[in-house]
Chain A
Amino acid sequence: MLHVSHVARIAPGNCVDSLLHALRQRGYMCIGPTLRDAAVVYDEIRSERDLPIGWADEQEGGSYRLKKRNDEARFGYTAGPQSWKRYLFPPSTLLMKAKRTPDGFTAEAPGEKATPHAFLGVRSCDLNAIAVQDRTFLTGPYVDPTYKARREAAFIVVVHCGQAARTCFCVSMETGPMAKAGYDLALTEILEDGRHEFLVEVGSPRGAEVAGELPSQAATESDARAARRMVDRAVAQMGRAMDTTDLKELLYRALDHPRWGNVAARCLSCANCTLVCPTCFCSTVEEVTDLTGDHAERRRRWDSCFTAAHSYIHGGSVRPTTLSRYRQWMTHKLATWIDQFGTSGCVGCGRCITWCPVGIDITEEVRAIREDNRGKGH
Chain B
Amino acid sequence: MEKDIEALLAEHPFFKDMSAPYRALIAGCGKNVRFDAGQLIAKTGDVANQFFAIRHGRASIELHAPEKGPLILQTLEAGDILGWSWLFPPYRWTFDARAIEQIRAISFDGECLRGKCDRDPAMGYDFMSGSRRCSWTACRRHACSSWICMEPPPIEPMLSAAFRVRKNRRETADTRTLELVPRDETEAPAWRPGQFMMLYVFGVGEIPISISGDPAQREAIVHTVRAAGAVSRAICEAKPGFAIGVRGPFGSAWPMGECEGDDVVLVAGGIGLAPLRPVLYAIMADRARYRRVSLLIGARTPDILLYPREFDRWRARDIDVRVTVDAAALGWEGSVGPVTTLVPRADFEHSRASAFIVGPEIMMKFAVQALSDRGVPRERLFVSMERNMKCAIGFCGHCQLGPAFICKDGPVFAYPRLEPWLVIRNI
Q: Which residues of A contact B (CB under 8 A)?
A: 1-4, 95-96, 98, 100, 103-109, 131, 134-145, 148, 151-152, 181-182, 205, 252, 255-256, 281-287, 289, 293, 296, 298, 300, 303, 305, 309-314, 318-321, 323-324, 327-328, 332, 335-336, 339-340, 342-343
Indicate which residue in B111, B153, B160, B426 contacts A96 across the interface (CB closer than 8 Å). B160
What is the chain A residue whose CB lies nearest that of B229? A314
What is the chain B residue whose CB lies nearest that of A140? B150
Please provide the chain B residues from 378 to 427 with a CB less than 8 Å away from any CB of chain A in the complex.
386-388, 390-391, 393-398, 400, 402-403, 405, 408, 420, 424-427
Is the pair A289, B160 in contact by a Cβ cutoff of 8 Å? no
What is the chain B residue whose CB lies nearest that of A97? B159
Q: Which residues of B contact A (CB under 8 A)?
A: 28-29, 44-45, 47, 64, 66-67, 89-90, 92, 94, 109, 111-112, 115, 147, 150, 153, 155-162, 164, 183, 202-206, 228-229, 241-243, 245, 386-388, 390-391, 393-398, 400, 402-403, 405, 408, 420, 424-427
Q: Which 9 pairs show the lowest CB-CB distances between chains A and B?
A: A104-B243, A282-B397, A339-B403, A324-B426, A142-B393, A339-B66, A336-B403, A105-B202, A287-B205
Is the pair B94, A139 in contact by a Cβ cutoff of 8 Å? yes
What is the chain A residue whose CB lies nearest that of B407? A142
Chain A positions within 8 Å of B115 at CB level:
2
Count A/B pairs, Cβ under 8 Å. 169
What is the chain B residue whose CB lies nearest that of A252? B420
Chain B positions within 8 Å of A298 at CB level:
158, 160, 206
Q: What separation, in Å, do the CA atoms of A324 and B90 have in the docked complex?
A: 35
Is the pair A104, B155 in contact by a Cβ cutoff of 8 Å? no
What is the chain A residue whose CB lies nearest that of B69? A339
Is the pair B245, A303 in contact by a Cβ cutoff of 8 Å? no
Q: A103-B241, A140-B94, A310-B388 are in contact. Are A319 and B394 (CB under 8 A)?
A: no
Q: What separation, in Å, do the CA atoms of A273 and B29 have in the docked complex?
A: 47
What is the chain B residue whose CB lies nearest that of A321? B426
Chain B positions within 8 Å of A104 at CB level:
162, 164, 183, 202, 242-243
Is the pair A285, B206 in contact by a Cβ cutoff of 8 Å? yes
Chain A positions within 8 Å of B242 at CB level:
104
Chain B positions within 8 Å of A107 at CB level:
159-162, 245
Q: What separation, in Å, do the CA atoms of A100 and B242 have in the docked complex?
A: 12
What is the chain B residue whose CB lies nearest that of A135? B45
Is the pair B153, A143 in contact by a Cβ cutoff of 8 Å? yes
Q: What separation, in Å, do the CA atoms of A105 and B411 have in the docked complex?
A: 29
Indicate which residue in B204, B403, B408 contacts A141 across the interface (CB closer than 8 Å). B408
Q: A106-B162, A342-B64 are in contact. Are A284 and B89 (CB under 8 A)?
A: no
Is the pair B111, A4 in contact by a Cβ cutoff of 8 Å? yes
Q: What separation, in Å, do the CA atoms of A100 and B245 have in the docked complex?
A: 12
Chain B positions within 8 Å of A252 at CB level:
420
Q: A98-B202, A137-B395 are in contact. Are A336 and B400 (CB under 8 A)?
A: yes
Indicate which residue in A1, A139, A312, A320 contacts B29 across the interface (CB closer than 8 Å). A1
Nearest Cβ on chain B to A322's Cβ, whole angstroms: 10
Chain B positions within 8 Å of A109 at CB level:
156, 159
Chain B positions within 8 Å of A336 at CB level:
400, 402-403
Is the pair A145, B245 in contact by a Cβ cutoff of 8 Å? no
Give the interface SS of chain B, mostly helix, strand, loop or mixed.
loop
Q: A104-B164, A340-B405 are in contact. Are A310 and B424 (CB under 8 A)?
A: no
Q: A104-B202, A296-B202 are in contact. Are A142 and B388 (CB under 8 A)?
A: no
Is the pair A284, B390 in contact by a Cβ cutoff of 8 Å? yes
Indicate which residue in A151, A281, A282, A289 contacts B90 across the interface (CB closer than 8 Å). A151
Chain A positions within 8 Å of B47 at CB level:
181-182
What is the chain A residue whose CB lies nearest that of B421? A255
Indicate which residue in B67, B204, B420 contacts A287 across the interface (CB closer than 8 Å). B204
Is the pair B203, A289 in contact by a Cβ cutoff of 8 Å? yes
Given contacts A296-B203, A298-B206, A336-B400, list 19 more A-B pairs with CB under 8 A.
A98-B202, A103-B241, A104-B242, A105-B243, A108-B159, A136-B395, A138-B90, A140-B147, A140-B153, A141-B408, A256-B424, A282-B398, A283-B390, A284-B398, A287-B204, A287-B206, A318-B388, A340-B405, A342-B45
Nearest Cβ on chain B to A331's Cβ, whole angstroms: 8
Q: What separation, in Å, do the CA atoms of A86 and B23 have in the docked complex?
A: 44
Name 7 interchain pairs, CB-CB below 8 A, sorted by A: A1-B29, A2-B112, A96-B160, A136-B395, A143-B157, A145-B155, A287-B203
Nearest Cβ on chain A to B27's Cβ, whole angstroms: 11
Most buried by A among B45, B160, B393: B45
Chain B positions within 8 Å of A143 at CB level:
153, 157
Q: What separation, in Å, do the CA atoms of A11 and B395 have in the docked complex?
A: 41
Indicate which residue in B150, B402, B426 contacts A320 across the interface (CB closer than 8 Å). B426
Q: What separation, in Å, do the CA atoms of A340 and B425 have in the docked complex?
A: 22
Q: What separation, in Å, do the CA atoms of A284 and B229 have in the docked complex?
A: 17
Nearest Cβ on chain A to B390's Cβ, whole angstroms: 4
Chain A positions within 8 Å of B386 at CB level:
313
Q: What separation, in Å, do the CA atoms of A106 and B391 have in the docked complex?
A: 20
What is the chain A residue whose CB lies nearest that of B230? A287
Q: What separation, in Å, do the CA atoms of A287 and B390 have in the docked complex?
A: 11
Nearest Cβ on chain B to A265's Cβ, whole angstroms: 16
What is the chain A residue whose CB lies nearest that of B67? A339
Nearest Cβ on chain A to B203's Cβ, whole angstroms: 5
Indicate which residue in B44, B67, B156, B426 contacts A319 across the interface (CB closer than 8 Å). B426
Chain B positions within 8 Å of A1 at CB level:
28-29, 109, 112
Q: A134-B90, A312-B388, A318-B388 are in contact. Are A343 and B45 (CB under 8 A)?
A: yes
Is the pair A324, B427 in contact by a Cβ cutoff of 8 Å? yes
Is the pair B426, A281 in contact by a Cβ cutoff of 8 Å? no
Nearest Cβ on chain B to A170's Cβ, whole angstroms: 17
Is the pair B395, A142 in contact by a Cβ cutoff of 8 Å? yes
Is the pair A283, B391 in contact by a Cβ cutoff of 8 Å? yes
Chain B positions within 8 Å of A105 at CB level:
162, 202, 243, 245
Q: What separation, in Å, do the CA atoms of A321 and B426 have in the docked complex?
A: 8
